[in-house]
Amino acid sequence: MITLIRRVAAVCALSTALAACGTGRPPQAAPPVSAPPSRPPTLAPGPAGLTPVFEHGPRTRRTVALTFDADMTAGQGARAAAGERFDHPRLISTLRALKVPATVFMTGRWAEQYPDQARSIGRDPLFEVANHSYSHYAYTRDCYGLPTVPEGRMRSDVERAYAAFRKAGVTDPMPYFRFPGGCYDRRALKALTPAGVTAVQWDVVGGDAFESDPDVVARQVLDGVRPGSVVVLHCTRSAAPATERAVRAIVPELRREGFTFVKVSELIAAADSGARTRPEGR
């Protein structure tokens, strides 16, 4: 009898691929294996392995990326405590209402001051959060009067900002970095190479910093946009009070002209794809 039972058990084990032993039911399917999350697109390192710099996407597609710098320095904490607003929730609400994807280049200090907003932006699929340094200090000398980050601390400054994003609840910040003031040199590009970021500049300046007339901002953007453009604007009420009203004029006009709004990651992906498919030597 024992021998018979063992034989039956062996037959059951061998036949489980056809039916569950003794039940007549098919075996349970194995749980699906989820694909690993795709990595955000970046550009290959530049000459001598330097940090690559991205300014605009392919000129063959009528796409445009609106980017917003959320600036705040460590020294502005007292001003924020006194009531000055370095955030701009109404601008973010307008982008959501208009269904406009955007990339927000955030300083770590901004994320610390407004963690709920940072988390909300970072978890909204309409947006992506990228790095704008920890405290908006310049990475070169003579950059609009900004204090400078010593060369030996440039990488750690970027990493400190990423740490602030994650502490605020931004789970997937993008591997993109915007130099404060847009100022960089070879020394800065070399210092950031180990950080593995793509530096993102722009080809259209919105001119919204300290501008109170939204029509001026809107006209500057509309006159400058070309297919693949990256537009730089700001996400700070005190320093860019006209931006939200300008966006309400910019978005419908560009859509009428046939433009589609995308995030920076989509422009970089398109540029990288074009570089890989371009015939060698061109």
What pLDDT shows up at residue 32?
46
Spans of the chain, pLDDT less than 70: 1-37, 274-282
| Beta-ladder partners of 106 | 70, 131
Q: What would the DSSP string read from start to end of 150-215?
A: -GGGHHHHHHHHHHHHHHHT-----SEE--GGG---HHHHHHHGGGTPEEE--SEE---TT---HH
CB 250 within 8 A of CB 99: no
Cα 160 to Cα 109, 119, 125, distances in angstroms: 10, 17, 24
What pLDDT shows up at residue 146?
95
What pLDDT shows up at residue 74?
85
Output the six-digit token pair for 162: 């990423």
Cβ-Cβ contacts under 8 Å for 174 (sequence gap 6 or more): 40, 103, 128, 129, 130, 131, 264, 265
Nearest to 64 by CA among 242, 254, 208, 234: 254
CB 66 within 8 A of CB 200: no
Output the six-digit token pair for 88: 């701009």
What pLDDT shows up at residue 273?
74
Distance between CA atoms of 51 and 148, rounded to whole angstroms?
Answer: 19
Helix or strand run (H / E) with residue 233? strand 229-234
Longest Cα–Cα distance of the chain, Å, equals 94
